[in-house]
Amino acid sequence: MKTIIHPGKNKNVTIELPCSKSLAHRYIICACLASGRSNIYNITYNQDILSTIEIMRHFNAKIIDKNDYLEIDGITKLKYDHEILDCHESGSTLRFMIPLCALIEEDVYLTGTSRLLERPQSVYEELFNKQHVKFIHNNDSIIVGSYLQSGTIEVDGNISSQFITGLLLALSLLKNDSTIVIKPPFASKPYVDLTIDVMNSFGIKVNYVDDYKLYIKGGQKFVGGNHLIEADYSQLAFFAALGVLNNGIRVGSFNEDSKQGDKVIVDILKDMGADIEKDGNYYLFKPSELSATTIDLENCPDLGPMLFALSTQAKGTTKFINAKRLRIKESDRIQAMEDELRKLGVDIYSNENEVYVNYQPNIVATDVLNGHNDHRIVMALSILATIAKNDVVIEGSQAIAKSYPRFFDDLSLAKIEVKHYDN
């Protein structure tokens, strides 16, 4: 799909954001592993969440779509229906499922897009080799055998926290106790804390022994219940940027006590000089003059694309550190944003782990932009396009369906003119 963004002032409306995709994956999986019935409220059906739902059904969980909530009857034992488990493009789905697959008596076959299967799985490969568990990673599939064993497990903490979440979910189902020892640096720790919180809400206890060691008692049981998923701070970044760069906007409703790592977007914007007010569970983002600063992406890599785009309007040179994990996301997000922002006249450059963006008040499109099949690239470019000097065309804009299918509808609600064309 090709989308044309016509620049203009947005209307200061209220945007209700979708649920946290990170939390939705965790709630759905835990509910499927729990005894009894669970209702998961405020669900947003995007491609990634549908992938997780589909696979849990292959494990014999009964999941009924009630439009704005899911009714889930959990399973007492993981069963596999011998279908290939298609994770599509969801890294969370794939990495959360692999350890669960290693609890099943027979080989389990997983697949996904070529880009997904290119993403590193070294943490599992090394662990399973040590435990003599089959793990075959091909260009078009991953084959997982049995059995994952309890005990002390060492993992690298600087690749992705998704590996730790996957292990926590699986190890909690084993009879004996386990300890996960994380080799520093421990990147994206807030995502692990989200996992522990959700597991705790289903009756599973995970404890920090110290900053780099997690203890999981064996023989625990997930217990079903009713759960409400909070709004997504990762998606807040896009409409927050619209309000600050354009004409103000009200966005919500949020859990002020949230442990989502991307909640830091509010503090980052304030550090850059953004005018932000709190209105109950909503934020008011007002047009602001921004100044360059240094931004650490270690615990919030998903904010990178929007912050790169936003920093084009910050006076000075904005420096991003601990950015290298953006290179192994749905796209190489650093290279993708460099390629596309340069088409808008932006001076941006990087090394392996840092990105530098210079102030460019005049955004002018000199070519058609490419979404790189990456939802966050498309959304970041779309927001910046609203303040361009000419129309901006984005190819591959359908990628938003991965996390925020109604993104362009919400942009239109804010009275930004958006037109779509099939390629």
Three-class SS state of 53: helix
382: which residues sit within 8 A by CB, 6+ positions away? 3, 5, 238, 392, 394, 397, 407, 408, 411, 418
φ/ψ of residue 351, rounded to 5: -120, -165
Backbone angles phi, psi at 223, to 5 degrees: -120, 130
Q: How many CA atoms lie within 13 A of 179 on its CB side?
A: 9
Identify whether the C-beta of residue 224 lies closer than 8 Å to the C-beta of residue 37. yes
User: Which tokens is 316 given?
Assistant: 């000075």
Residue 355 in contact with residue 334, Cβ under 8 Å? yes
Contacts of 390 (CB under 8 A, 6+ apart): 7, 364, 365
Residues with a catalytic annotation lie at 302
Per residue of the chain (423 residues), what is the pLDDT tens digit? Answer: 999 999 999 999 999 999 999 999 999 999 999 999 999 999 999 999 999 999 999 999 999 999 889 999 999 788 899 999 999 999 999 999 999 999 999 999 999 999 999 999 999 999 999 999 999 999 999 999 999 999 999 999 998 999 999 999 999 999 999 999 999 999 899 999 999 999 999 999 999 999 999 999 999 999 999 999 999 999 999 999 999 999 999 999 899 899 999 999 999 999 999 999 999 999 999 999 999 999 999 999 999 999 999 999 999 999 999 999 999 999 999 999 999 999 999 999 999 999 999 999 999 999 999 999 999 999 999 999 999 999 999 999 999 999 999 999 999 999 999 999 997
Angle between helix 233-245 and 375-385 (nearest 10)? 20
CA pair distance 333, 325, nearest whole angstrom = 9
End-to-end, the C-alpha distance of the chain in Å comes to 5
pLDDT value at position 423?
Answer: 75
CATH of domain 2-18+231-421: 3.65.10.10
Q: Has domain 21-228 been given CATH number 3.65.10.10? A: yes
Expressed in percent and rounded to 5, the helix, strand and coil fractions of the chain are 35, 25, 40
**Which letter does DSSP use for residue 35 in this model?**
B
Q: In terms of C-beta density within 10 A (0-12 exposed, 13-18 middle, 19 or more buried), how is residue 68 classed?
A: exposed
CB atoms inside a 10 Å sphere around CB 116: 21
Residue 272 CA, distance from chain mean position? 24
Residue whose entry in the numeric block shows the structure tokens 């958006």: 418
CB 316 within 8 A of CB 274: no
Inter-residue contact 360 to 318 (CB < 8 Å): no
Q: What is the pLDDT of residue 324?
A: 95
Nearest to 315 by CA among 268, 265, 357, 365: 357
| Amino acid letter for position 178 | S
One-letter amino acid at 423 equals N
Q: Which amino acid appears at position 200 of this protein?
A: N
Spell out the residues 6+ positions from residue 409 whose beta carbon is closer than 8 angstroms to its own. none
Q: How is residue 223 annotated by DSSP?
A: B
Alpha carbons 290 and 283: distance in angstroms, whole number: 18
Q: How is 143-205 classified by DSSP, letter by letter?
A: EE-S----SEEEEESSS-THHHHHHHHHHTTSSS-EEEEEESP-TTHHHHHHHHHHHHHTT--
Q: At what angle do helices 122-130 and 91-101 cross, to 10 degrees?
A: 10
| Beta bridge partner(s), residue 38 | 72
Q: Quick one: DSSP state of residue 262? A: G
Asked whether 134 and 128 are in contact (CB, 8 A), the reply is: yes
Say whether 21-228 and 2-18+231-421 share the same fold: yes
Sketch the domain layout of the chain as residue ranges: 2-18+231-421, 21-228
* Inter-residue contact 192 to 166 (CB < 8 Å): no
Token pair 């590996």 is found at: 163
Overall residue count recorded for the chain in this entry: 423
Q: Which residues contact 362 (CB under 8 A, 6 or more apart)?
A: 345, 389
- d(Cα 204, Cα 54) in Å, to the nearest integer? 24
Distances (CA, A) of 195 to 97, 167, 187: 14, 11, 14
Q: State residue 305's pLDDT score.
A: 98
